[in-house]
């Protein structure tokens, strides 16, 4: 009890945030201080060594006085301390390499003194130093230098862990990266993770110890063997395992109540990175069974480099990621347009910091305002438009169909018409899988916009119109992932609309990569659909996210089924059905086989729809939308009656 009290009191004085003497605030000892301490140790060692040898034999040579001998010994050590830079490292992070440098410097110093000693002997037939004295001095000096570094390192580690909660962890995988990670954890500034060992699937690793830590075999007895260590989490550092295998590992660990962390590749960290901060709890996005996308960078570079590019909806999750990705291709200028002020400002700060050489123009504007859009096209020689601005929340749009028409349909027509007028080279529209046989106003409005863009392609020969469709995007604004995370943080319940509902998912970067790639492939008028992988059961997703957060589904956090929302489907259409798609040269991108419509017909219908939005009759608007999009059949919606009529 007294020792713990002493540690805490010491921490408050030496480590406390409010203390002017805070040891924590000393980032490192200046080099001259370390060098001074080392030379002081050399002097103390000299006197100790002299006292030891003097007890054995008082017959020292008298070529130099004691003070002169001390001075020459000190100068010898000083020279080799400079040569090997023994004072340049952080003492609290001393490693074997640092100790090796100290040992070599000490040995070199004594070797030099021995050479001088024997050169003098062969010249003047007398020695300057007793050889036993020099050998004792070597041992004493190295021991004290080692003790100094060991003490500082131990003292730092002791006080750095007092107010830090650490978790006992194992590292999954035994390879160069995992071993380097273990070393980085051991020398990190705080002890957030207390490494207890490694887990390996290799039989030959069973009896091996790495850095003094045991290696446990991944077998049926694994959890029984690690039970005495009171493990709280596992860091996955093996980057060679497949997504499928990783999912299996994560599920087994979560079932035992263990936290699971992802570790970066050590060579990807820069010098200023703290490895503890780079180890993150594994996210649901990390467990998607999807292979990395291979992009044709040359072709993307060809139509983006040196061009002026407009991204609408640029402050949204998809639009902002498009901005980030096209910034890598060094366009002349990127125009980022959005009507949401604060999100647009946040994107501006982020991308200007990440791409300081890139020219941007952040435009606060609304796609519903044609005159504002035209002024932007007049002032800029725009070559490519990525149109990601849209209203997308199904239940909300179901109750506000007028706004869906104004933004999703009329906003698209404004931009598309301006793209033709100002001879934009490419117009890439971001659409949705909900436009396939739509059951809600949102999906139908996007399908209507697709139809207009397709029909416009036939009327001009200078602008290439391309449409891209994909499903739900993990982590996007309003998607189920952040929604579930918030519910879990609040203690539940987690709400699922139906126990059997399924959805297709992809990550934001993946979706935007495919949008860029599709832009290279279109000849005009195509609707590209993306390989969304395997469908995910939302109930399973909720259960997994709860376990990833360290809770047990329906024990710690309740899962509540609340029923389908207005306009919501139980099963989204399978976009990659071979009967409705054609392959392309990219294995993850296909072309949807859909009917196209004459420009005059769709143009006149949209003009009628526009006139209806001037009133307040939602049924008239939706009825006209159903006329334009014949496959639009409402589901779980107040507009189902229109289908019967």
Q: Which residues are catalytic?
A: 434
Distance CA 412, CA 92 (A): 60
- Cβ atoms of 315 and 346 closer than 8 Å: yes
Distance CA 162, CA 108 (A): 40
Report the DSSP pairing between strands 280-281 and 259-262.
antiparallel
Distance CA 112, CA 303 (A): 67
Q: Where are the alpha helices (DSSP H) in 490-554?
A: 508-521, 538-548
Distance CA 367, CA 245 (A): 45
- Cβ atoms of 629 and 639 closer than 8 Å: no
Q: How many CB atoms lie within 10 A of CB 342?
A: 8
Cα torsion at 64, 65, 69, 74 (round to 10°)? -130
Q: Is 220 helix (H, G, I), strand (E, B) or coil?
A: coil
Could you give phi then psi for residue 271, rounded to 5 degrees?
Answer: -60, -25
Nearest to 201 by CA among 215, 214, 217: 217
Distance CA 51, CA 38 (A): 20
Distance CA 249, CA 172 (A): 9
- List 312's β-bridge partners, or say none: 337, 387
- Cβ atoms of 215 and 209 closer than 8 Å: yes
């Amino acid at each position: 009890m007294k020792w713990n009290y002493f540690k805490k009191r010491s921490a408050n004085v030496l480590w406390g945030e409010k203390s002017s003497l805070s040891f924590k605030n000393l980032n490192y000892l200046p080099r001259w201080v370390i060098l001074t301490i080392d030379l002081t140790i050399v002097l103390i060692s000299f006197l100790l060594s002299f006292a030891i040898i003097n007890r054995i034999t008082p017959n020292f040579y008298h070529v130099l006085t004691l003070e002169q001998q001390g001075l020459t010994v000190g100068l010898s050590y000083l020279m080799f301390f400079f040569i090997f830079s023994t004072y340049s490292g952080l003492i609290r992070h001393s490693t074997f390499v640092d100790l090796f440098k100290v040992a070599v410097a000490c040995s070199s110093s004594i070797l030099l003194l021995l050479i001088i000693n024997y050169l003098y002997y062969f010249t003047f037939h007398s020695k300057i130093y007793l050889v036993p004295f020099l050998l004792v001095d070597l041992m004493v000096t190295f021991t004290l230098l080692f003790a100094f570094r060991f003490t500082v390192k131990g003292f730092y580690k002791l006080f750095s862990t007092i107010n830090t909660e650490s978790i006992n962890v194992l590292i999954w995988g035994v390879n160069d990266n995992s071993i380097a990670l273990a070393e980085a954890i051991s020398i990190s500034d705080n002890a957030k993770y207390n490494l207890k060992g490694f887990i390996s699937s290799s039989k030959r690793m069973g009896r091996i110890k790495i850095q003094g830590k045991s290696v446990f075999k991944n077998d049926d007895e694994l959890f029984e063997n690690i039970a005495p260590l009171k493990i709280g989490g596992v860091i996955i550092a093996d980057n060679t395992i497949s997504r499928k295998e990783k999912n299996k590992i994560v599920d087994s660990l979560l079932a035992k109540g263990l936290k699971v962390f992802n570790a970066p590749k050590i060579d990807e960290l820069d010098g200023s990175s703290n490895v503890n901060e780079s180890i993150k709890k594994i996210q649901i996005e990390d467990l998607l069974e999807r292979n990395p996308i291979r992009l044709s960078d040359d072709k993307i570079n060809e139509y983006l480099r040196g061009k002026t590019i407009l991204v609408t909806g640029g402050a949204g999750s998809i639009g902002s990621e498009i901005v980030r990705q096209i910034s890598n291709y060094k366009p002349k200028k990127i125009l980022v347009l959005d009507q949401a002020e604060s999100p647009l400002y946040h994107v501006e700060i982020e991308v200007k910091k990440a791409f300081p050489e890139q020219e941007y123009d952040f435009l606060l504007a609304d796609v519903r305002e044609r005159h504002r859009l035209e002024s932007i096209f007049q002032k800029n020689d725009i070559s490519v438009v990525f149109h990601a601005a849209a209203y997308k929340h199904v239940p909300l749009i179901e109750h506000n169909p007028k706004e869906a028409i104004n933004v999703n349909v009329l906003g698209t027509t404004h931009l598309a018409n301006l793209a033709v007028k100002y001879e934009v080279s490419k117009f890439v529209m971001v659409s949705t899988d909900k436009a396939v046989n739509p059951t809600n106003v949102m999906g139908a409005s996007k399908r209507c916009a697709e139809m207009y863009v397709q029909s416009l392609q036939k009327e001009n020969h200078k602008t290439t119109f391309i449409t891209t469709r994909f499903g739900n995007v993990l982590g996007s604004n309003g998607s189920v992932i952040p929604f579930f995370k918030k519910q879990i943080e609040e203690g539940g319940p987690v709400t699922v609309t139906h126990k059997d509902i399924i959805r297709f998912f992809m990550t934001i970067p993946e979706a935007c990569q495919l949008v860029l790639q599709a832009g290279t492939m279109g000849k005009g008028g195509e609707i590209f659909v993306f390989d969304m992988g395997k469908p995910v059961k939302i109930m399973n997703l909720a259960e997994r996210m709860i376990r990833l957060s360290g809770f047990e589904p329906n024990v710690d956090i309740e899962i509540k089924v609340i029923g389908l929302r207005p306009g919501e489907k139980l099963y989204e259409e399978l976009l990659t059905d071979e009967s409705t798609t054609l392959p392309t040269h990219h294995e993850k991108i296909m072309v949807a086989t859909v009917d196209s419509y004459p420009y005059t017909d769709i143009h006149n219908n949209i003009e009628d729809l526009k006139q209806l939005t001037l009133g307040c009759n939602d049924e008239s608007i939706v009825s006209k939308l159903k006329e334009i999009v014949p496959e639009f059949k409402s589901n779980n919606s107040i507009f189902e009656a229109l289908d019967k009529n």
